[in-house]
């Protein structure tokens, strides 16, 4: 499946919203995407096509992976990053080559009132240094016709590669990929061994990932647009403010500058934009952590499912479903979840009869199965998420785990009434 195949499938299934009239890249496109929530294809943003909310729900994710929504976690937990990579010499991405770089011709969006500048939100930065490759999404602020500022988060892999290159006064070669197979985009958001993002994507899609080599030596998958360049070893500029996953503004920082030296793209490319704090951003941030929690909880009890909830920004709140065997299993599950995803703030553990995708059902479990002095675990002064506005300046917070499971010896008291079918 290609990027365009996936868009065509959305259209055929009636899930794609198409906007034919001209739309401004400044606020208007993001406003429409936020209201629409469904995948939306703009046919004319500054003369270009743009798609947003491409993977905006678990329904799209389950379609992409070819499994029911309830089995996404099982599928992701079973796949190892050992798929096949094929190097090829030809690519549809090479239909148009531009050596005279002008990034302002791209439909780079401005999303919110206080945005520091237009910025790229779905750019996969592929880098390589010392024989080590990495592919991951970074926000990329437009700072000139041929310059972007990259938010590189320590101690993640792109940050480390840039740091190693900069210590030797060397530029870090990169290629920024926009609009590739969504399985590949998803794979680059996961935590896999160094340099295994494309192998993981190949394993997920059940077919090899083809890569072609850019003029600077970086190997990338077929896509709509590729920006070739390098991260400057010294140059830094103010980056931000921009909205992060909580829907609040991140702080302004000095971040490295990427110089773009060449643009290659398909004819009539379809630009991919992710709405900050929108459904696709939440899904991309949260779902990759769910398998880690699932596997960790599976080490201490029988785990059935895990979800990072939308209300918890798909990052700070988890609901863990277990098959409870003994009293204490739920608290062990809570501690395992916090260890697996250290940014978690609140965790609720429920039984098999609770639908973890239904907030009302989860609240029902809390209402009917929790006794505050016995079932709530409070852990103060621990490292949390830098994205939590309520966290302390040093990153510490208080974490809360809620055991919303039945008391085993009294389980008949928690039986839910069923109306039988005739």
- Active site positions, annotated: 244
CA 201-205-209 angle, 5° bins: 55
Q: Please, how many CA atoms are within 13 Å of residue 156, restricted to the half-sphere of its CB?
A: 16
Q: How many CB atoms neighbour CB 13 within 10 A?
A: 11
Which residues are CB-contacts of 128 (< 8 A; sequence separation ≥ 6)?
134, 161, 173, 217, 218, 219
Indicate the angle between helix axes 58-65 and 3-12, nearest 10 degrees. Answer: 120
Q: With contact defined as beta carbons under 8 Å apart, do 148 and 258 qualify?
A: yes
Q: How many CB atoms neighbour CB 113 within 10 A?
A: 8
């Amino acid at each position: 499946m290609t990027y365009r195949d996936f868009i065509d499938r959305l259209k055929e299934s009636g899930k794609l919203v198409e906007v034919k009239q001209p739309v401004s890249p400044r606020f208007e496109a993001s406003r429409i995407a936020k209201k629409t929530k469904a995948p939306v294809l703009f046919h004319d943003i500054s003369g270009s096509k743009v798609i947003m909310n491409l993977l905006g729900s678990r329904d799209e994710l389950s379609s992409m992976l070819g499994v029911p929504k309830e089995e996404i976690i099982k599928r992701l937990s079973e796949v190892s990053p050992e798929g096949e990579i094929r190097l090829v010499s030809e690519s549809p991405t090479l239909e148009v080559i531009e050596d005279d770089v002008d990034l302002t011709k791209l439909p780079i969006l401005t999303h919110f009132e206080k945005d520091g500048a237009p910025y790229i939100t779905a750019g996969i930065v592929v880098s390589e240094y010392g024989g080590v490759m990495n592919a991951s999404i970074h926000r990329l602020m437009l700072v000139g016709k041929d310059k972007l500022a990259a938010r590189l988060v320590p101690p993640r892999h792109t940050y480390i590669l840039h740091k190693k290159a900069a210590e030797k006064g060397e530029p870090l070669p990169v290629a920024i990929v926009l609009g590739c197979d969504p399985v590949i985009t998803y794979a680059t958001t996961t935590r896999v061994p160094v340099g295994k993002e494309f192998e993981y994507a190949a394993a997920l899609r059940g077919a090899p990932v083809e890569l072609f080599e850019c003029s600077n030596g970086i190997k990338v998958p077929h896509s709509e647009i590729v920006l070739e360049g390098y991260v400057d070893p010294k140059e830094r500029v103010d980056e931000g403010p921009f909205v992060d996953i909580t829907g609040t503004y991140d702080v302004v920082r000095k971040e490295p500058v990427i110089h773009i030296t060449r643009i290659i793209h398909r004819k009539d490319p379809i630009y991919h934009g992710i709405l900050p704090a929108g459904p696709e951003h939440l899904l991309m941030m949260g779902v990759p952590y769910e398998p880690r929690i699932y596997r960790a909880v599976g080490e201490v009890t029988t785990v059935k499912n895990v979800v990072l909830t939308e209300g918890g920004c798909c990052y700070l709140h988890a609901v863990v479903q277990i098959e409870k065997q003994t009293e204490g299993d739920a608290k062990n599950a809570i501690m395992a979840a916090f260890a697996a995803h250290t940014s978690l703030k609140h965790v609720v553990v429920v039984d098999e009869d609770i639908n973890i995708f239904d907030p009302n059902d989860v609240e029902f479990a809390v209402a009917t199965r929790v006794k505050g002095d016995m079932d709530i675990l409070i852990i103060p002064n621990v490292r949390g998420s830098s994205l939590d506005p309520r966290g302390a300046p040093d990153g510490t917070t208080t974490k809360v785990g809620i055991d919303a499971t039945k008391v085993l010896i009294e389980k008949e008291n928690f039986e839910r009434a069923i109306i039988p079918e005739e």
